Amino acid sequence: MGADTGDAHGGDRAHPGPPAPASRPPGIAGTGVDAPLLEALLPHLTESLMVLDRAWNVKANLAPPGGLIGRGLGLGLHTLEDMHPDDAVQILDLGTQAFATEPGWEGSMVVRMQRGDGTYGRYEVTAINRLDDPAVAGMVVRTREVVGEIEPHVPGLENRLAAEVLAELLPTGVLVLDPSARPVYVNGAACATLRREPAEVKRDGVLALVAEEDRDRMAAVFGRVTSVRGRESCTVRLADRDDVVECRMMSLGEPDVSIVVVTLDDVTARQAAEAALERRANHDGLTGVRNRSSIIDLVRDRLDAEVPTAVAYLDLDGFKRVNDVGGHAEGDRLLVAVAHGLLHGQPDAVVGRIGGDEFVVVAPALAADVLVDQVRGLVAGVERARLAGVTASVGVAVARPDDGPRDVLHRADEAMYADKRRRSARMAPDQVGG
CA distance 372 to 401: 22
pLDDT of residue 335: 96
Q: What is the CA radius of gyration of the chain?
A: 40
Model confidence over 15-74: pLDDT tens digits? 556 665 556 677 787 888 888 898 899 888 889 999 998 877 899 999 988 888 888 878
Reported as half-sphere exposure (CB side, CA atoms, 13 A), residue 63 has a value of 24
Map 80-121 to HEC letters: CCCECHHHHHHHHHHHHHHCCCCCCCEEEEEEEEECCCCCEE
Map 325-355 to HEC letters: HHCHHHHHHHHHHHHHHHHHHCCCCEEEEEE
Domain 283-431 in CATH: superfamily?
Reverse transcriptase/Diguanylate cyclase domain (3.30.70.270)
| Domain 39-146 identical in fold to domain 283-431 | no
pLDDT of residue 190: 87
Q: What is the DSSP letter of 148?
A: S
pLDDT of residue 178: 82
Contact (CB, 8 A) for 259 and 175: no
Domain regions of the chain by residue span: 39-146, 161-270, 283-431
Stated pTM of the model: 0.50
Could you give the dihedral angle defined by the CA atoms of residues 344, 349, 354 and 355, in that order, rounded to the nearest 10 degrees?
-10
Under CATH, which number does the domain 39-146 receive?
3.30.450.20
Instruction: Evaluate the omega torsion of the peptide bond into residue 255 and state whether it is cis, within 30 degrees of 0.
Output: yes
Give the orientation angle of helix 319-326 with respect to helix 328-345, to 10 degrees.
140
Residues 6+ apart with CB under 8 A from 334: 316, 319, 322, 384, 385, 388, 390
pLDDT of residue 15: 56
Q: Residue 292, class by beta-carbon neighbours within 10 Å (0-12 exposed, 13-18 middle, 19+ buried)? A: middle
pLDDT of residue 274: 77
CA distance 3 to 425: 158
10-residue mean pLDDT profile of the chain (434 residues): values are 46 56 70 88 90 87 88 79 74 76 89 86 91 93 82 62 47 82 83 87 89 94 92 92 90 79 87 80 91 94 94 95 92 95 88 95 87 93 94 95 94 95 72 53
Sign for the pseudo-dihedral over CA of 392, 397, 399, 404: negative
Question: What is the number of residues in the chain?
Answer: 434
Biggest alpha carbon–alpha carbon distance for the chain: 164
CATH level 2 (architecture), domain 161-270: 2-Layer Sandwich (3.30)
Residues 6+ apart with CB under 8 A from 338: 316, 359, 379, 382, 384, 385, 390
Model confidence over 250-292: pLDDT tens digits? 988 777 787 888 989 888 887 778 777 888 888 999 999 999 9
* Distances, alpha carbon 101 to alpha carbons 4, 125, 152, in Å: 71, 17, 17
One-letter amino acid for residue 141 of the chain: V
Bridge partners of 361, per DSSP, are 312, 351
pLDDT of residue 169: 52
The candidate with the shortest Cα–Cα distance to 313, out of 431, 190, 407, is 407
Residues 6+ apart with CB under 8 A from 174: 166, 185, 186, 187, 189, 190, 261, 262, 263, 264
